């Protein structure tokens, strides 16, 4: 697969995963997403080679789901009075003010609250679609995304009861690692 196809797939997957971490499964914005997933939509755009663990994760994300049970899982993990996993960037040592400034400098839409892990994935997708800037993507990864992604995703993986969010964390780690490698290779080639 060409690098351009991988980047396009990365943008779509970042947007998808960002929304799945940001929104409850009952959110109307996600109404068609779960039907698309059950039609193996993610497998059709997944640009990485799969091993048994990643194939199992793809299958878990795309299997038929009880959305009410998944919404309860989402609430338990990320919302509620005492969520099991913090989605707040500030809880992972990332400066929300610097993240807001990073977005403003690139003309991104203002956010009501920027203190959410999923917004890093959505920002990565926005950069890919609108800026064509490897430097901006590299800075996003180095300064914001990678410092908190491994901690956040490890907590999701360990605390999720249902396979869906555990699988989403595994696939997020894979796509972020692959993209970080691509960015490093690009940086090495331009030096």
Higher-pLDDT residue of 133 and 15 is: 15
Q: Which residues have CB under 8 Å from 145's CB, separation 6+?
A: 120, 121, 124, 176
2, pLDDT greater than 50: no
Q: Per CATH, is 3-190 categorized as 3.40.50.1380?
A: no
**pLDDT the model gives residue 44:** 92
**pLDDT tens sequence across 91-131:** 999 999 999 999 999 999 999 899 999 999 999 999 988 88
49, pLDDT greater than 80: yes
**pLDDT the model gives residue 191:** 57
**pLDDT the model gives residue 190:** 65
6, pLDDT greater than 80: no
Burial class of 68 by CB neighbour count within 10 A (0 to 12, 13 to 18, 19+)? exposed
Helix H or strand E encompassing 167: helix 163-190
Q: Give the Cα separation of 19 and 52 in Å (integer).
A: 26
**Domain residue ranges of the chain, discontinuous segments joined by +:** 3-190
Q: Percent of the chain having pLDDT more than 70? A: 94
Task: Indicate the range of 86-95, 150-159, 180-189 predicted with least confidence.
Answer: 180-189
Average pLDDT for the chain:
90
**pLDDT the model gives residue 7:** 52
């Amino acid at each position: 697969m060409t690098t351009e196809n991988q980047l396009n797939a990365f943008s779509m997957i970042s947007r998808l995963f960002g929304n799945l971490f940001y929104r409850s499964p009952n959110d109307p914005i996600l109404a068609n997403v779960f039907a698309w997933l059950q039609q193996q939509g993610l497998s059709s755009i997944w640009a990485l080679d799969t091993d048994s663990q990643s194939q199992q994760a793809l299958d878990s994300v795309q299997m038929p789901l009880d959305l009410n049970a998944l919404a309860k899982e989402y609430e338990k993990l990320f919302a509620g009075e005492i969520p099991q996993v913090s989605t707040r960037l500030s809880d992972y040592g990332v400066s929300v003010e610097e993240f807001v400034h990073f977005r403003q400098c690139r003309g991104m839409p203002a956010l009501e609250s920027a203190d959410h892990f999923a917004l890093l994935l959505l920002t990565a997708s926005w950069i890919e679609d609108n800026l064509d800037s490897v430097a901006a993507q590299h800075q996003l990864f180095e300064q914001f995304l990678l410092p908190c992604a491994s901690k956040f995703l490890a907590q999701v993986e360990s605390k999720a009861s249902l396979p869906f969010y555990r699988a989403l964390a595994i696939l997020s780690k894979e796509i972020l690692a692959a993209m970080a490698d691509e960015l490093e290779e690009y940086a090495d080639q331009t030096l």
